[in-house]
Each structure stands twice: as structure tokens, then as C-alpha cells.
Structure 1
Amino acid sequence: MPLHIAFDDLTYLLQRCEVTTVRATREEPEYEKGSVVPSGPWMPITEADGLSLAAPACTPAATLVEIVRPPAPRTGALEHLATPLGDENTQYLGQSLARPNMMTTTQNYQDGKLIGLHVDNWDKLSHGQKPHGRRRLALNLGPGARYLIVGALDAQAVGRAVHPDDFALRHPSTDDYREHVAAGHPVSVYRIRLAPGEGYMAPTEYLLHDGSTEGEDRPSAAAFWPGRWTSKILPSLI
């Protein structure tokens, strides 16, 4: 299933969203070799682009990207922010601080290198179960703006392309995307701007993604929670 973004007003999506393709890194010291990153330049999306991202009524919530206004965090209670949203098993993963002007933000904790665009693997899902993982709720704590970057090609489609003979036996991974891009196959990625206090719910186990502060002159901290939520559980910003 491709990328689907929930929106009520196409104009608001057009104001926030841009598109580009991706490339594989080579000898870039801050990145793991072969990481998938935006190729740039970022271009405004057209009305046709926006309409192609619209979520059909039958789209499962687990595969839906929503741009939302999370509850305002109370001092000392950030870990409980997602508790009222309906999933008693929601976990608080903590915060991540991104420096200004980072093309992507996620680092390999073992060596500090940036991993580029990736898919999460918190739920350890097989190929058939990949669309049924938890979504991630993210809140931009500021002080600067940041972006959600999300890919249009899902992990199942990439797994089938890279491993046509045994894809059903595999667990789709970031390495599948790296192999796919290294072979010269195009992947479109979209970035959506998030001001402080804004956030997203996204299927990060299923879609290529990362954060970004590219072009921003202030750092941005973000907090994260994986969980299972129905669509429209939080107010939409678009």
C-alpha cells in the first residue's frame, strides 16, 4: 500500500509539503555508506501530487500518515502525554535533539553516524505483518521547526522488488531500501513542515522516513511514542 496522508483541505497540505527523490550516500563521513538520503532540491507539490496522496475511506489507520496537534505537555508528565489516546500499551521512547540544518536526524547509537532514511523495526514484523505495526506519534518540542520526511514506496513493495524469490519469508528492512536505491530505482519522498507544538502519527515500521531540520537555523527536540490509534484521534492540522 503506498503513502496515504490524511487531510481535510488540500490547500493546507500544499502549503506544508514538498517532494524530491533520493540517492545513496558514498564517501560522506557523517553517514553510513549506502544510506538513503534526499537528493534535492525540494520542490512544491502540485494539486495532482496532493490528490494522489489522499487516503481512501478504506485506508487502515495503521498505514495512515496524519499531521496532528498533540496535547500540550505538562511539566514533568511528558511520558504520559499519549496515555489518554486509547492505547494502554503506548510506550514513551524519549526525546531526540536535532541540530540546525540536518538533512536527516537519526544516528546509529553505536558509532554516532547518521543512518539516513529508514524503516523502524520495534515490532519485529514479517513481510505479511508489516502493514499492521504500531504507528509512531511524534511531537516537535522546539525551539525550532522540523520536518517529517516520508517515502511513497512501502516496505512490502520494496521487499518484493529486491527479493522476488523469497520475500514472504523475510522481514522488510532499511537494507532493502538501500539495495533498491543503489540499483538505480527511483523513490519519491515528501517532507512536511512541523512547527513547535505540532506533530505526526505515521507508520514508521512500514514507510521510509526520518526527521530533518534542513534549512532551519535553530535546533529541534522531538518526543516519540509508538502505539495503536484510530484515525482522527487527534485534531488534524491539514
Structure 2
Amino acid sequence: MTTMHPAAIAFRDPEALRARCDIGGVRSLHDVPGYENGAVVPAGDWSPLPGDHPERFAPGVFTKDSGLVEFFRLPETVTDVHALAALVGFLGDPLLVALGETDDPPGEPVTHRLSESGLRPGLHVDDHQNLPYPDRDTARRRLCVNLGPGSRHLLLADTDIKSICRTVHDRYETHHPHTGDLRMFLALRRPLKLLRVRIDPGEGWLAPTAVLPYDESTDGQELPSLTASWLVHWERDLFAPLI
């Protein structure tokens, strides 16, 4: 039986993670305007994270920095996107990739849109580097900061794309993982849960989004929120942990 690997989330206080994290299921969309066919989205059945769950997502001794999900609060001196860009540049990845800014209205179950089509892919993996299965763990993490004024949520699958590939492909070793593998996984009725983590204005996250299916959501919010994002190779703990 294939072992499924959860997200590896850096946290100090399990109750602080539970206070801002829900868990729920997913569903697939077909022939829904504005979405790719087969897009995987939240089912909307959110419930509090069970008391024994934070430890399931704790990093192990073999968790690489490139595989870690981190949450942080910006320094108080960083109040706009220009100051944020200067800080990101200062922190030392000469090959970082700027992904720009996105201003999302409230009430969006998933926020990401494909630039080429304008459609929403739903839960997806980033594929900027298009790395094959053996090298997928070396991809840059995605850095995303919420500049407000509203809050939003980061959505994270509890199963990574390499585990999904081992389930849906016989010759996964030479495969280039992509979002279609996740959709195939759901079509085979394999279990998948989704974490929903609140990100308030002035807070941000780092996550291995080339490995861990994700999206963001403004569902249930009253205000829009602006984000700025980069792809970076950073060591862990460059920012003080939020939780």
C-alpha cells in the first residue's frame, strides 16, 4: 500500500496552528464556467483541526528546507510592496523569480487564474521549473505575502504530488508531475483532505508549491486582499515563526 505524505508545517504551538486552521474535503468540477474541466476545489465542509492532527504535519528529521511550509509576520517597517520587494531581494537568493501582485475580491473559493486562458485550475501544483519526479523536491518554494486590507486563506492538500504520482502511474520515476495527476487521483476516488490556514494582512507563507497542491481563497471574507509572490531558494527560519 502506498504511503501518503502530509504537508510538513513548521509550528511551535499546536494550539496556535489549530486556532487558524480548518480541515475539509474536496470535489471536482466539470463543465463549470470559469474553471478548467476537472478542477479540484474545496467541498466547503470545513471543521476544526482535530486535537491530534498538528503532530501529523510536524516536520520530520529528514524534512529538507525546500519541503517545509512556514508562516510568518512581516517586520513592522515593511508596509508596502516596494519595501517588501527590497526585503526579499536583500535576503539572498540571486536567482529568485518575481511572480508579481494579485488583487483578489472577497468571496472567491479559489483565487488562482491561468494567465493564458483566464480559467481557474483549482487546487494545483506550480510548474515554473517543470522538474521531473526525482528532482521535484529541489524546486524553489513559493513566498506569498498578504498586503491586505482583507484576510484570506492558504489551501494545502494533505498529500504531495510525488505520493500522488506513485498511486496513478506505474512508471512514475521518469514522469513530470503536474496538476492533471491530482485530478486523476480524485477520479480514482482516492482520499484527499485540504487544510485551510488563515493569513491576515501583514502575514505571509513559504511553501513547496511545486510538490504540495495548493491554492488560496477569499471565501467568507468581506474585503479584497492584495498579494505579492516570489519563487525562492531560502533556508528555514529567515523570518520569526508566526505559530
What pairs up with 1:39-58 in 2 under 5 angstroms? 39-58=43-62
Summarize the Cα distance change of 1:118–1:54 in structure 2 as closer, same or farther, 3 Å threshold.
same
Q: Which one of 65, 83, 96 corresponds to residue 90 of structure 1? A: 96
Name the residue aligned to 2:154: 148
Name the residue aligned to 1:70: 74
Q: Which one of 12, 18, 22 corresponds to residue 18 of structure 1? A: 22
2:235 partner letter: T
**Contact 1:79–1:94 (Cα < 8 Å) also in 2:** no
Structure-2 separation of matches of 1:104 and 1:204: 15
Superposed CA deviations along residues 117-176 of structure 1, whole A, max 9, x for unmatched, are 100011111001111111011100111001110111111111111112x11111000000
Name the residue aligned to 1:121: 127
- The alpha carbon displacement at 1:73 in A equals 4.4
Name the residue aligned to 1:79: 85
Q: Indicate the larger mover: 18-27 or 194-203.
A: 18-27
1:109 partner letter: S
CA RMSD of superposed structures (Å): 1.4
Q: List runs of 5+ in structure 2 lacking aligned partners.
A: none
Q: List runs of 5+ in structure 1 lacking aligned partners.
A: none
Q: Which one of 112, 125, 142 corresponds to residue 118 of structure 2? A: 112
- The alpha carbon displacement at 1:77 in A equals 4.2
TM-score normalized with structure 1 length: 0.95
1:145 partner letter: S
**Contact 1:139–1:200 (Cα < 8 Å) also in 2:** yes
- The alpha carbon displacement at 1:109 in A equals 1.7
1:51 partner letter: E
Name the residue aligned to 1:222: 227
Is 2:195 aligned against 1:190?
A: yes
Name the residue aligned to 1:100: 106
Name the residue aligned to 1:163: 169
**Contact 2:6–2:160 (Cα < 8 Å) also in 1:** yes
> Aligned pairs, how many?
237
Structure-2 separation of matches of 1:179 and 1:101: 28
SS at match of 1:129: helix
- The alpha carbon displacement at 1:31 in A equals 1.2
Is 2:224 aligned against 1:213?
A: no
Provide runs of 4+ in structure 1 moved above 6 Å: none
Structure-2 separation of matches of 1:82 and 1:76: 10
**Contact 1:125–1:133 (Cα < 8 Å) also in 2:** yes
Structure-2 separation of matches of 1:65 and 1:221: 21
SS at match of 2:53: helix
Identity %: 37
TM-score normalized with structure 2 length: 0.93
Name the residue aligned to 1:130: 136
**Contact 2:6–2:56 (Cα < 8 Å) also in 1:** no
**Contact 2:81–2:228 (Cα < 8 Å) also in 1:** no
Name the residue aligned to 1:179: 184
Is 2:65 aligned against 1:61?
A: yes
SS at match of 1:107: coil
- The alpha carbon displacement at 1:91 in A equals 2.4
SS at match of 1:178: helix
